[in-house]
Amino acid sequence: MQDFAHSFTLAGELIVSGNEDLAEIIALSMRVTATALGISALIGLPFGAILAVSRFPGRGAITVLANALMGLPPVVVGLSVYMLLSNAGPLGPLQLLYTPTAMIIAQAVLITPIIIALTRQVIADLNAEYADTFHSLVVPWHTAVGALLWDARFSLITVLLAGFGRAVAEVGAVMIVGGNINHVTRMMTTAIALETSRGDLALALALGMVLLLIALAVNGAVAFLRGTERSAAHA
Amino acid sequence: MSLFKRLAAGVVAIGLTVGASAAAFAADKFIVVQSTTSTQNSGLLDYILPKFQKKSGIEVRVVAVGTGQALKNAANGDGDVLLVHAKPAEEKFVADGFGVKRFDVMYNDFVIVGPKNDPAGIKGMTDVTAALKKIADSKAIFASRGDDSGTHKKERALWKQTGIDPTAASGDWYRETGSGMGATLNAAAGMGAYTMSDRATWLAFKNKDALEILTQGDDRLFNQYGVMLVNPEKHPNVKAEAGQEFIDWLIGAEGQKAIASYKVDGEQLFFPNAKGSASN
């Protein structure tokens, strides 16, 4: 049990000391996850919305597939991306393996289905309310998708936060495609795994607490922005 | 500015930063070394690599995985140099044309660690196969790496010498963790199990808990590390020149001295034994 108390103190010390290595690791984690989230949002939001409002054959199957892929095991994603990017694989000449870009790809693959599936549900619910209005005003479908995405923006931010949470906490995929290389591809989660394997459980847990704090800070910042936006909308 | 514009601006800014830093990485001279968890977990590489980088200007990026995975990754051309500890597998790697030439680098030894109350009664034994036999006979829990790593290959070879097939009791007293040395030591500490570890990982390991070294000193526990360049004829992307420079440094006077001077709690972890170009 003293490990928990020790970890708390250690986490506090790590943050206060402004440790350069830790700052580098946190910055990399944030950059990789934010970029992966940006890519996933660009693909997932419109795709999810279109899936919600349009009617085409196979739509049900795609929805089921997207929902199922929310449970993609990170290690499988990591392995697949590794085999694609490996020098023995089809994308080997790009020389992306063991770079932050490889980790961005893995995380984007991991969370895009989550963004698609949750966006589809949010937009489908809202569309049920709006459908009659769209129909009577003869609104073209792309205008409708735009309006739905905009009006659902607060729910969609929660969708993006879910994607962020999944990506930032993930270790299996980035370990394989990033290689946990010091100063190049070492992230919060891979550093935690490394310290665990070194038997330094207190330091590993302290790093975990720092990661949790970061997730709290990100969610807090979004909640704050959301608050100012709401008050601006009502002003 | 709307929330979405702000978010979008943030994402773009981050994207640009990542792009810029990726370009900065690409400008530097670096090699990728596929190595084992023991060299990283023990802290050896963190200690000697800055010395090499200072001298050569070459950054060494280490991917530390089990020897089995390191061999596979290197065979795929995902690395320039291979630094592992499973001599027969390394020799096969070179014979199959994946590696250029293998050099001895350093050695340490394996130890059998176990719970301090030692239910199998192997404390102080120096005959490792006799100790393993006692563990099997008493059905005391033994945690095996079970991951085809260098340590696992060695452990299997030792079991073979005892004439016992422990995998018949897999899931019973023989527990295959399927993970790295550190994770297996954590598991052994948690289960009160015996396990075999390389001495370097053990000495640097901080969660020793109720474990201690019980059997050591058998010649058969010798643990040799080798280094080789991934064959540029198989994989043209291999940075042969920089990779060879690293190998030459590692088996040369400076690298060997750096290895010998690495100590944890005053104890030397690795013993250099390169024979220069005459090795193998």
* Residue B87 CB neighbour total at 10 angstroms: 18
Residue B54 covered by a domain: yes
Q: What confidence tens digit (pLDDT) does each residue in B2-24 have?
A: 555 555 555 555 555 555 454 44
Q: How far apart are CA A11 and CA B103, in angstroms?
A: 43
Q: How far is CA B90 from CA A204, B155, B273, in A?
A: 33, 17, 17
| A184 contacts in chain B (CB < 8 Å) | 25, 61
Is residue A86 within 8 A of residue A93, CB to CB? The reply is no
Give me the CATH number covering residue B156: 3.40.190.10
pLDDT of residue A8: 85
pLDDT at site A52:
94
Tens-place pLDDT, residues A127-184: 999 989 998 999 988 899 999 999 999 999 999 999 999 999 999 999 999 999 999 9
Question: Using the beta-carbon criterion (under 8 Å), do B206 and A199 form an inter-chain contact?
Answer: yes
Q: Cα(B175)–Cα(A143) distance, rounded to whole angstroms?
A: 60
pLDDT at residue B280 is higher than 50 = no
**Calpha distance B87→B2 (Å, rounded):** 62
Q: What is chain B's length?
A: 280
Mean pLDDT of B115-121: 96
B101 and B233 in a single domain? The answer is: yes
**pLDDT for the residue B12:** 52
Mean of the pLDDT values across residues B182-193?
93
Q: Could A41 and B204 be called an inter-chain contact, meaning their C-beta atoms sit closer than 8 Å?
A: no
Residues A196, B183: C-beta atoms closer than 8 Å: yes
Does the pLDDT value for residue B26 go beyond 50?
no
Would you place residue A105 in the very low, low, confident or very high pLDDT band (cuts 50, 70, 90)? very high
pLDDT of B135 over the 90 cut: yes
Confidence band for A227, pLDDT divided at 50, 70 and 90? confident
Whether residue B87 is found in the same domain as residue B169: no
Q: Please choose, from the candidates A221, A228, A229, A115, the residue with its C-alpha nearest in 3D space to the C-alpha of residue A164.
A: A115
The neighbouring-strand residues paired with B104 are: B226
Q: What is the mean pLDDT of chain A?
A: 92
Is residue A107 within 8 A of residue A74, CB to CB? The reply is no
- On whether both B188 and B228 belong to a single domain, the answer is no
Nearest Cα to Cα of residue B51 among B246, B228, B225? B246
Model confidence at B132: pLDDT above 80: yes
Answer whether A149's CB lies under 8 Å from A45's CB: yes
Same domain, yes or no: B119 and B216: yes
- For residue B6, which residues of chain A lie inside 8 Å, CB to CB? 225
Whether B205 and A199 lie within 8 Å, measured CB to CB: yes
Question: Predicted confidence band at B278 (pLDDT cuts at 50, 70, 90)?
Answer: very low
Q: Domain boundary at B206, B221, B236, which?
A: B221
Q: Which residues contact A23 (CB under 8 A, 6 or more apart)?
A: none
CB contact under 8 A, A87 and B15: no
Query: Looking at the DSSP assignment, which residues form a beta bridge with residue B176?
Result: B144
| Claim to verify: residue B266 and residue B215 sit in the same structural domain | no
Give pLDDT, residue A6. Answer: 84
Is residue A179 within 8 Å of residue B61, measured between CB atoms? yes
Confidence at residue B8, expressed as pLDDT on a 0 to 100 scale: 54
DSSP H or E segment with residue B268: strand B267-268
Token pair listed for A154: 């607060």
B122 and B248 co-located in one domain = no
CA distance B272 to chain A (A): 23
> What confidence tens digit (pLDDT) does each residue in A72-81 have?
999 999 999 9
Q: What is the pLDDT of residues A190-206, one digit of tens each?
A: 999 999 988 888 889 99
Asked if residue A126 is part of any domain, the answer here is yes
Search chain B and give the residue with CA nearest A90: B76
Task: Give which of A171, A166, A173 is closest to A82, Cα–Cα.
Answer: A173
pLDDT-derived band at B279 (thresholds 50, 70, 90) equals very low
Residue A86 lies in a domain: yes
Domain that holds residue A161: 19-190
Q: What range defines the domain where residue B130 resides?
A: 109-221
Q: Is residue B249 part of a domain?
A: yes
* Residue A213 falls inside a structural domain: no
Higher local confidence (pLDDT), B158 or A203: B158
Q: Tell me the pTM.
A: 0.85
Numbered residues of chain A with Cβ closer than 8 Å to any chain B Cβ: 30-32, 34-35, 37-38, 41, 86-89, 92-93, 95, 97-101, 104, 153, 157, 179-182, 184, 194, 196-201, 225-226, 229
First-to-final CA distance of chain B: 68
CATH, residue A51: 1.10.3720.10
Mean pLDDT, residues B62-89 taken together: 94
**Contact across the interface for B182 and A197, Cβ inside 8 Å:** yes
| Same domain? B101 vs B229 | yes
Number of domains present in the structure of chain A? 1
Q: Are residues B84 and B180 in the same domain?
A: no
Is residue B36 domain-resident? yes
Distance CA B239, CA B103 (A): 18
Q: How many Å is the maximal CA-CA distance in chain A?
A: 67
Domain match, B215 and B234 both: no
pLDDT above 60: residue B151: yes
Within 10 Å of residue A235's Cβ, how many Cβ atoms?
Answer: 5
The residue out of B199, B221, B243 marking a domain boundary is B221
Residue B139 sits in the same domain as residue B69:
no
| Highest mean pLDDT: which range of A53-57, A231-235, B2-6 | A53-57
Whether A153 sits inside 8 A of B4 (CB atoms) is: yes
Amino acid letter, residue B216: Q
Number of domains forming the structure of chain B: 2
**Residue A168 is encoded by which pair of tokens?**
């930032």
Mean of pLDDT values over B166-178: 94
Instruction: Identify whether B55 is part of a domain.
Output: yes
CA angle B211, B216, B219 (to 5 degrees): 155
Q: Is residue A138 part of a domain?
A: yes
Do the chains contact at B14 and A97, CB–CB below 8 Å? no
Instruction: Judge whether B101 and B185 are in contact, CB under 8 Å.
Output: no
**A85-102: average pLDDT:** 94
Inter-CA distances, A120 with A108, A167, A178, B154, B271, Å = 18, 20, 31, 53, 60
CB contacts, 8 Å: A199 with chain B: 182, 185-186, 205-208
Nearest CB to A86: which of B6, B76, B182?
Answer: B76
Q: Which long-range contacts (CB under 8 A, 24 or more apart) does B54-57 make?
A: B55/B249, B55/B254, B56/B242, B56/B245, B56/B246, B56/B249, B57/B29
Q: How far apart are CA B191 and CA B142, in angstroms?
A: 9
Tokens linked to B233: 């004829």
DSSP 8-state symbol, A138: T
Q: Give A12's pLDDT tier (boundaries 50, 70, 90).
A: confident
CA distance A31 to B16: 10
Q: Which residue among B2, B14, B204 places its CB closest to the CB of A31?
A: B14
| Check: complex ipTM more than 0.85 | no
Q: Are B140 and B173 in contact (CB under 8 A)?
A: yes
> What was the pLDDT predicted at B15?
52
Say whether both B123 and B197 belong to one domain: yes
Contact status, residue A98 vs residue A178, Cβ threshold 8 Å: yes
Q: Which residue has the higher pLDDT, B252 or A135?
A: B252
pLDDT of residue A53: 92
Question: What is the residue-averaged pLDDT of chain B?
Answer: 89
* pLDDT cut 70: percent of chain A above it: 98
Q: Is the pLDDT of residue A214 over 50?
A: yes
Angle CA B37–B38–B43, to nearest 5: 100
